[in-house]
A and B are shown apart, each in its own frame.
Chain A
Amino acid sequence: MKIPRYTMQKIAFAIITTAAISVGIPLVLVIGYIVAQGIGALSWEFISAAPRNGMREGGIYPALVGTVWLTIGTAVTSIPLGVGAAIYLAEYAADNWFTRTIRLAIINLAGVPSVVYGLFGLGLFVIFLRFGMSILAGSLTLGIMTLPVIITTTEQALVAVPQSFRVVNASLGGTTWQGIRKVILPQALPGIMTGIILGLERAAGETAPILFTVAAFFLPRLPHSVFDQTMALPYHLFVISTQVPGMPIRIQYGTALVLMVFVLTMNLLATLIRRYYRRRRQW
Chain B
Amino acid sequence: MNNTATPGKAKLVLHDVSFYYGDQPAVRQINLRIYANEILAIFGPAMSGKSTLLRILNRLSDLAEEGRLEGEVLLDGKNIHDPDVSVIQLRTRVGIVFAVPVPLPLSIQENVTYGPLLGRGRSKGELDELVERSLRAAALWDEVKDRLSESATALSGGQQQRLCLARVLALEPEVILLDEPCSGLDPISTLKVEKALLALKESHSIVIVPHNVQQASRIGDKAAFLLMGELVEYGVAEQIFTRPKDPRTDDYITGRFG
A contact residues vs B (CB 8 Å cutoff):
94-95, 162, 164-165, 167-175, 178, 182-183, 186-187, 282-283
B91, A171: Cβ atoms under 8 Å? yes
Cα of A283 to Cα of B171 in the assembled complex, Å: 25
The stretch of B20-28, B97-105, B189-197, B243-251 in contact with A is B97-105
Interface: B77 (CB within 8 A)? no
Q: Write out the residue numbers on chain B whose beta carbons fall within 8 Å of the beta carbon of A173.
A: 88-89, 91-92, 115, 118-119, 171
Nearest chain-B residue to A187 (Cβ)? B105
B252 interface residue (CB < 8 Å to A): no
Indicate whether A182 sits within 8 Å of B102 (C-beta atoms), given known contacts A173-B88, A173-B171. no
Chain A residue at smallest Cβ distance from B88: A173
Which residue numbers of B lie inside 8 Å of A, CB to CB?
58, 60, 63, 65, 88-89, 91-92, 95-96, 98, 100, 102, 104-106, 114-115, 118-119, 151, 153, 167-168, 171
CA distance A126 to B95 in the complex (A): 57
The reply to whether B153 and A172 form a contact with Cβ atoms under 8 Å apart is no
- Please, which residues of chain A bring their CB within 8 A of the CB of B119? 173
Which one of B63, B100, B115 contacts A172 once the chains associate, using CB atoms below 8 Å? B115
B108 to chain A, nearest CB (A): 13
The contact of A170 among B89, B91, B105, B153, by CB within 8 Å, is B91
- Separation of A164 and B97 alpha carbons in the complex (Å): 12
> A110 CA to B171 CA in the complex, in Å?
46
B168 surroundings in chain A (CB, below 8 A): 171-172
Known: A164-B100, A171-B95. 15 other contacts (CB 8 A): A164-B98, A165-B104, A165-B105, A167-B102, A168-B98, A171-B60, A171-B96, A172-B115, A172-B171, A173-B89, A174-B115, A175-B88, A183-B106, A282-B153, A283-B153
Closest B residue to A178 by beta carbon equals B118
Complex Cα–Cα for A282 and B150 (A)? 13
A171 touches B118 (CB 8 A): no
Which 5 interchain pairs have the tightest Cβ spacing?
Answer: A172-B115, A173-B92, A282-B153, A164-B102, A173-B91
Q: How distant is A274 from chain B, measured CB to nearest CB, in Å?
A: 18
Q: Which of B95, B98, B104 has the most CB of A within 10 A?
A: B104
Shortest distance between the CB of A244 and any CB in chain B (Å): 55
CB-CB under 8 A from B95, the residues of chain A are: 171-172
Min CB gap B62→A, angstroms? 8
Closest to B90 in A: A173
Q: Give the complex CA separation of A167 and B179 in angstroms.
A: 14
